[in-house]
């Protein structure tokens, strides 16, 4: 599962380096890539994508799964592994391990404005802006604080953009604008620690040295310590690269991931 505002194309460079016998189902999560948007009039909540993942697993009739997630996709994997602990074999999280902690004070201070902003976007009838593919790639590159290279930005736009029907030569982002609001994607730290204690599968966290921390680093360490006590295995790796290390420089992570997913003993 890909990260926030990315799409399934995020894993294309990695798949090119894995053995041709490797089978991986990469998802365009709802509202991103080529997947349809959620119904109009509602904000997103973190649990909705977990329901989507559950429906996919049940559709294929899988009894045991390995989850590979980057950033937001990793947080979804964390949640899924905690609430369906007997159905996950391995969980590989790239750069991020869990959802970021909800700060009650920040919630109280900014919650009202965030809700009003969400309603404003939901009610807007304005068409999405359209521009050139190079302009979109440049904006995505800069918007990610250069975590996504320009080349990787162009790759993501293969699935993340549409060709304008009104303005030949121009393109627009096909993502659901409601995805910009991460207000309902945080969970209290104590809640997350309890969830971490319920994870039973093998857990692997690949952290980029130039990656991101969205919360206190002590929370990160505490979560890993709790997982170690109850999970079958907990391994931590540090590699060179940015938050999008698997996309920009998959050669930094491919050997680790290949060993995990191809070795039956982990």
**Contact between 123 and 99 (Cβ < 8 Å):** no
> Whole-prediction pTM value?
0.93
Q: What value does the mean pLDDT take over residues 181-208? A: 91
Confidence of residue 35 (pLDDT cuts 50, 70, 90): very high
With bands split at pLDDT 50, 70 and 90, how would you rate the model's confidence at 266?
Answer: very low
Q: Tell me the catalytic residues.
A: 71
Q: Report how far residue 214's alpha carbon sits from residue 230's, in angstroms, rounded to the nearest whole number.
A: 25
Tens digit of each residue's pLDDT (9 = 90 or more) over 105-159: 888 888 888 889 888 988 888 888 999 999 999 999 999 999 999 999 999 999 9
Return the HEC string of the chain.
CCCCCCCHHHHHHHHHHCCCCCCCCCCCCCCCCCCCCCCCCCCCCHHHHHHHHHHHHHHHCCCCEEEEEECHHHHHHHHHHHHCCCCEEEEEEECCCCCCECCHHHHHHHHHHHHHHHHHHHHCCCCCCCECHHHHHHHHHHHCCCCCCHHHHHHHHHHHEEECCCCCCCEEECCCHHHHCCHHHCECHHHHHHHHCCCCCEEEEEEEEECCCCCCHHHHHHHHHHHHHHCCEEEEEEEEEECCHHHHCHHHCHHHHHHHHHCCCC
CATH entry, 8-122+176-262, from 3.40.50.1820, 3.30.420.40, 3.40.50.300, 3.40.50.2300:
3.40.50.1820
Count the residues in the chain: 266
Q: Residue 183 — pLDDT band, cuts 50, 70, 90?
A: low
Would you list the domain boundaries of the chain? 8-122+176-262
Instruction: Grade residue 186 by pLDDT with cuts at 50, 70 and 90.
Output: confident
202-210: strand order across its sheet = 65-70, 88-94, 202-210, 233-242
C-beta of residue 1 within 8 angstroms of C-beta of residue 70: yes
Neighbours of 266 (CB within 10 A): 14
d(CA 231, CA 242): 28
pLDDT at 45: 79
C-alpha to C-alpha distance for 47 and 31, rounded to whole angstroms: 14
Share of the chain above pLDDT 70, in %: 98
């Amino acid at each position: 599962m890909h990260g926030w505002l990315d799409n399934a194309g995020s894993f294309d460079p990695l798949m090119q380096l894995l053995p041709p016998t490797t089978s991986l189902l990469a998802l365009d999560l709802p509202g991103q890539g080529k997947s349809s948007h959620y119904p109009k009039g509602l904000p997103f909540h973190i649990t909705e994508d977990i329901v989507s993942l559950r429906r996919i697993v049940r559709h294929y009739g899988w009894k045991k799964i390995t989850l590979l997630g980057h950033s937001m996709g990793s947080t979804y994997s964390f949640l899924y592994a905690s609430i369906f602990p007997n159905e996950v074999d391995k969980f590989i999280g790239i750069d991020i391990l869990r959802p970021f902690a909800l700060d009650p004070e920040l919630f109280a201070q900014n919650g009202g404005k965030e809700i009003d902003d969400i309603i404003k976007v939901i009610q807007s009838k304005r068409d999405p802006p359209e521009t050139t593919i190079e302009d979109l790639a440049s904006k995505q590159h800069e918007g990610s604080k250069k975590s996504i290279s320009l080349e990787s930005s162009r790759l993501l736009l293969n699935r993340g953009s549409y060709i304008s029907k009104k303005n030949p030569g121009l393109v627009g982002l096909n993502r659901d604008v409601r995805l910009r609001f991460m207000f309902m994607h945080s969970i209290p730290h104590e809640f997350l620690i309890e969830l971490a204690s319920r994870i039973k599968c093998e857990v692997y966290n690949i952290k980029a040295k130039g990656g991101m921390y969205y919360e206190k680093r002590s929370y990160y360490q505490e979560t890993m310590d709790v997982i170690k006590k109850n999970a079958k295995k907990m391994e931590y790796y540090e590699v060179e690269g940015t938050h999008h290390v698997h996309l920009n420089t998959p050669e930094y992570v491919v050997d680790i991931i290949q060993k995990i997913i191809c070795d039956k003993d982990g």
